[in-house]
Structure 1
């Protein structure tokens, strides 16, 4: 599924930033105090994205969406772990329009 066709344009922009390996664009989509979790454990956002996405060629192929585009089923791959099916959920900050939290984990 093309990121530009996702129901939530903010989530689509984040997927596009991941796939373009554009860390600055990715961070611009997040609130300054954004948080995240991986497999149910809160992680340091900057450390995690550098290790799992931008330092290892992370790429998201969206298989499906739900919850207005704020929940994705993704085939995620990077140079460290290879390819895996993952679920992603996004929280959009009210009034801000940016992502304040995302949660990911194996699906």
Structure 2
């Protein structure tokens, strides 16, 4: 169960880091850059700890990347003024479907 807690932390940290990217202005602003990079370090350390505790790397990476992508799309639409489209929704649905499929088959 600890491996899932590390995976959840990795997802949250990755989403925070990615959400901060725009505010770094190309890594020219110090504190947003420091926060962004720190979040990515936490994300990779937490992901590696989940894998070290028994999570399959393919499943861990798929869940991390897939849920991170879906959450970033939501944040972009809800908070950053990005447009939503049927194509974007379909893409996110396919990513989530792929993660679910990997978990159904790969976690056992």
Higher strand proportion (structure 1 or 2): 1
Higher helix proportion (structure 1 or 2): 2
TM-score by length of 1: 0.27
TM-score by length of 2: 0.27
